[in-house]
Chain A
């Protein structure tokens, strides 16, 4: 077993994959906690699919427009193929997050309908732009289902940078984010800039989604944001602890999932999600038992 692990770690792609899993888990643990307590899983899904539009746009610019402007640009960018679409996805999903946030708060239309439409449009835009991109057919599947085994060091650095940004932003705005998540009306009355903080939260979701997209894939982004946070929400009743536990669980799931994927030659993203999903189902079964025990303890303490 240990020999097998050491053998696996000799591969650079495996080390990269493990590191990517750890880095992504930090962001997804923190942001996932907000997504779960604010019940905005659907908006997160919308942002994730809109990000796909950004990827298509990124490829289009990279292979069709840039070469017209700078002859050697595409060749230079080929040194790190994932970079340009990633920037496109970040910008596109940030824009989508802002639009969805405004739609949800300002319009009297049904917000979930509009988000569903934007969700579909983002997806379609991505596919059309990849169609239009000449000479280079990207492997779209890698964005749908992730390619954690193909993460490059430049991407690791980008993910690390986004991690740092998210940790700093959450630390700076922690009390406001907690306040608007718990009781938005009270926060408004206390003159907290509720709209700005909410859009900040959506922007952080967008950034996290883009990071996760590369690792576990677009399809599984929602699960990865939701599952660790949902599990920790069952067991801890403090937002900070929930974030820490979610991050830790994310790391366990990605590491275990990668190990299963390596050992049995399974698709890595699917293996990671299944590990998380099974853990969640087990937690749901264990939770009522723990809850009853805790109630009994509380009642005894009060008696």
Chain B
């Protein structure tokens, strides 16, 4: 059954999941992203963090082909964005929806099949099978007839993940997936993502330090420029550059797993009881 989730679209075998080179992007008011270089390897689980207004949304729009870059190049599975975005399962922020919209869980999950089923064609039994499989994976199959407005934040997030999975993606792109759920639910969502990561590359964007927990494989900081070393540890320098504020302010109250266990822990994260949270 898991086979459903491996992309049916032919992919260029050697290409990186996402390759961004010398990307500049922005709006009439000026550049938001400057000279971004990023290579996301297959089956990576990358967390991109950064302050609000640091360009996370802009990068997301560029990756989804919603905003043309002013300079530079983006390739997804070795293809230009418009074609390559077929390989992306996009999970938007939950808050952006009209909760009164008359649609149920099953209808939303099947929207993941839109890209495979063009105009004038009904959803096939295979489409239904894929959507069902996706809902089962996120444990929302039992609630398939439930209107979307009657779900909790965490359940709704799972439905949007199912919709993204129904596209049979090679890459899952998530925008603040735990922004509106409580910590317990957010743990279960990260565990789900970690399981999915066996088959799918995951790119997660968040302004929340705590979101980039021990689940990610690599982490980068985005604030106009990208600081990324294909490594799971943030250095204080990266954070300082990205947030442009003293590190201990950020470190306070956030899980510290993203920091390397030894070299700087004492200097940066001092005095309070972080205990086992570090490392």
Give A residues with C-beta under 8 Å from B. 33, 37, 172-173, 175-176, 178-179, 181-183, 185-193, 233, 236-239, 241-242, 298
Contact = CB atoms under 8 A, between A and B. Distances in A.
A237 B151 CA distance: 13
B92 A183 contact: yes
Given A188-B66, A190-B167, A238-B103, A182 B120 contact: no
Given A186-B163, A238-B147, A178 B66 contact: no
Contacts of B88: 189
A193 B108 CA distance: 18
B107 interface: yes
A176 B114 CA distance: 8
Interface of B: 64-66, 82, 85-86, 88, 90, 92, 97-98, 100-104, 107-108, 110-112, 114-115, 117, 119-120, 122-123, 147-150, 163, 167
A236 B122 CA distance: 24
B102 A237 contact: yes
21 contacts: A37-B98, A37-B102, A175-B123, A176-B119, A178-B103, A182-B101, A183-B97, A185-B66, A185-B92, A186-B92, A189-B66, A189-B85, A190-B112, A191-B82, A237-B103, A237-B147, A237-B149, A237-B150, A238-B102, A238-B104, A242-B102
Nearest to B122: A175
B147 A175 contact: no
A239 B102 contact: yes
Q: Which 4 A-B pairs have the closest CB atoms?
A: A237-B147, A190-B115, A190-B114, A237-B102
A237 B117 CA distance: 25
Interface centre among B82, B90, B101 (most CB of A within 10 A): B101
A147 to B, nearest CB: 34
B90 A186 contact: yes
Given A190-B167, A191-B86, A179 B92 contact: no
Nearest to A240: B102
A238 to B, nearest CB: 5
